[in-house]
Homo-oligomer: A and B are copies of this chain.
Amino acid sequence: MQSPRPAGAPESATLLISCPDQPGLVAAVTSFIASHDGNILHLDQHVDQQENVFFMRVEWDLTRFKLSPADIAPAFKAIADKYAMQWQLHFSSDVPRMAIFVSREAHCLYDLLSRYTAGEWRVEIPLIISNHPHLEPVAQQFGIPYHVFPITRETKAAQEQAQLELLKACGIDLIVLARYMQILSPEFVAEYPNRIINIHHSFLPAFPGAKPYHMAFSRGVKIIGATSHYVTADLDAGPIIEQDTVRINHKDSVDDLIRKGKDVEKLVLSRAVRYHLQHQVLVYDNKTVIFA
């Protein structure tokens, strides 16, 4: 199912840019857009004063824009080269394709699929991948193909290879780990740099790794949280996209922490997915700039 654009929203183009800071950058980009009669819908920029790096996101209306989508990148290249920009160009008419990975916990999967079915995002979800058959009934409820890849130490490399082939065949742009309890190999991660979003059930960098709710209970913290981040080769150490927290108290057992934490996980993961789908995320120096 393809989620519709909000009623009346025009088709748009979005540029994400980073480069060494210097005078004239915003003027150069916005003059380019204005010179072809583009009207800016959103513009946000940021300068990391410490590192002297410039970041920018600009989205403009294509309705009266004089350049065709295919001509924009070639025309912009001259500016990009002049300022040594790293840049991405996205079109709202391109609908991203997203795969969901799950294990046994259903809450994030339900949340993602409910938003998808309700048309909250402009995305296609052509498949769900799991290392367990456990959640297949949920996939069936929502009519989405569910692929099981059981994983053992011996089969891991081969199974990841099979997963990658399936993902490529389905034209997947984004992978969402919705409480997928397997660690992806560095080789797998390298195939989707900054395109694999994980939800970790703690307020990182507190309680990385396994059983964070048990650790939080044991330490006696008064607030727990969840963290959504891009997956890198370092476990739970990738660029953080979004975090949130919820208050707990001494009456809460580990089961209560798990229950309260699930609601935070759902919110945090769905916000991170939305930021990514809207091209609002720029990764730099293992951190994220979120243009929201």
Contacts and interface: CB of A to CB of B under 8 A. Distances in A.
A27 B30 contact: yes
A23 B46 contact: no
A47 B41 CA distance: 7
A261 interface: no
A222 B242 contact: yes
Copies, count: 4
Given A30-B27, A40-B45, A205-B207, A245 B220 contact: no
A236 to B, nearest CB: 11
A131 B111 CA distance: 25
A204 to B, nearest CB: 7
B221 A243 contact: yes
Interface string A11-25: 000000000011111
A249 B33 CA distance: 27
Contact of A43 (B24, B39, B43): B43
A118 interface: yes
A251 interface: yes
Interface stretch (A73-81, A180-188, A284-292): A284-292
Interface in A263-292: 263, 267, 270, 285-290
Contacts of A49: 41, 253
A37 B55 CA distance: 19
Nearest to A141: B141
B44 A34 contact: no
A68 interface: no
Nearest to A7: B255
Contacts of A221: 204-205, 240, 243
Interface of A: 6, 21-28, 30-31, 33-35, 37-47, 49-50, 55, 106-107, 110-111, 114, 117-118, 120, 141-142, 203-207, 219-223, 225, 239-245, 249-251, 253, 255, 259, 263, 267, 270, 285-290
Given A42-B47, A220-B286, A221-B243, 13 more contacts: A6-B255, A26-B30, A40-B45, A44-B44, A106-B117, A106-B118, A203-B206, A205-B206, A206-B206, A220-B240, A220-B287, A222-B240, A263-B270
The 4 closest A-B pairs by CB, nearest first: A220-B287, A110-B114, A24-B34, A27-B30
